[in-house]
Chains A and B, each alone.
Chain A
Amino acid sequence: GQQVMQIPQYQHVQEGEDFTTYCNSSTTLSNIQWYKQRPGGHPVFLIQLVKSGEVKKQKRLTFQFGEAKKNSSLHITATQTTDVGTYFCRQAAGNKLTFGGGTRVLVKP
């Protein structure tokens, strides 16, 4: 079935540095959603991208949808300890909703 692959699986970041996590699909996606799960918590919806090449920002987080709508990225600038958690992308094909494996972000103070 349709899958989305997330890389890297783990990301160790020094506080204040930037990093990017990627979500890749072998097929064209109708849209992509991003969720964040804090340690011990539950996934929380962050944002949705629908249009080819779309870029959205939430403070220090920048989300991008690829031109071919087969990949997406999340870029975080000036990482803070509050960014700790696992970030998931999610694709939808009709009733079939599939989450990527997630990128677990650890921040070194």
Chain B
Amino acid sequence: DAGITQSPRYKITETGRQVTLMCHQTWSHSYMFWYRQDLGHGLRLIYYSAAADITDKGEVPDGYVVSRSKTENFPLTLESATRSQTSVYFCAIRTGTSGGATDTQYFGPGTRLTVL
């Protein structure tokens, strides 16, 4: 959806470098998420945020750092990139404010990251 943008869309980096993937929403939804998608593993949650300055780990948080100083932005940083972090990264928001189970998710277009 046009309301969620990710940058860059494609990134090639080298092992050991720091990389930051950006996610921006034009709405003001409270919940934002970072997923990685690899063949055979579906979508795996890295981190999520329930509001500005509130973040929590997901299923595969190791090697990643997030911050959320503003509601609309949720950057994901790979502090020292490894080849195993080569993946497609999706940012998503969740509709609703109470974190209800019926909230739906909207995904950004994704960032394809290659670590050499």
Query: A102 touching B42 by the CB < 8 A rule?
Result: yes
Partner of B107, one of A6, A44, A101: A44
Query: B42 touching A97 by the CB < 8 A rule?
Result: no
What is the interface residue range for chain B against chain A? 20 to 34
B71-102 toward A: CB 8 Å interface, digit per residue (1/0)? 00000000000000000001000100001111
Known: A42-B108, A42-B109. A92 touches B43 (CB 8 A): no
Query: A42 touching B99 by the CB < 8 A rule?
Result: no
Query: A45 touching B104 by the CB < 8 A rule?
Result: yes
Q: Report if A19 contacts B (CB, 8 A).
A: no
B31-54 interface with A by 8 A CB criterion: 33, 35, 40-43, 45, 48, 50
Query: A99 touching B42 by the CB < 8 A rule?
Result: yes
**How far apart are the CA atoms of A50 and B100 in the complex, in Å?**
12
Query: B99 touching A94 by the CB < 8 A rule?
Result: yes
Residue of B42, B103, B107 with most partner-chain A CB within 10 A: B42
Q: Report if A95 contacts B (CB, 8 A).
A: yes
**How far apart are the CA atoms of A1 and B56 in the complex, in Å?**
16
Known: A42-B90, A94-B99. A48 touches B104 (CB 8 A): yes
Residue positions of B touching A, CB distance < 8 A: 33, 35, 40-43, 45, 48, 50, 56, 90, 94, 99-110
27 residue pairs bridging A and B, Cβ less than 8 Å apart = A9-B40, A31-B102, A33-B105, A35-B105, A41-B109, A42-B109, A43-B43, A43-B105, A45-B106, A48-B104, A50-B102, A88-B42, A88-B43, A90-B105, A92-B100, A92-B103, A93-B101, A95-B99, A97-B33, A97-B94, A97-B105, A98-B45, A99-B35, A99-B42, A100-B42, A101-B42, A102-B43
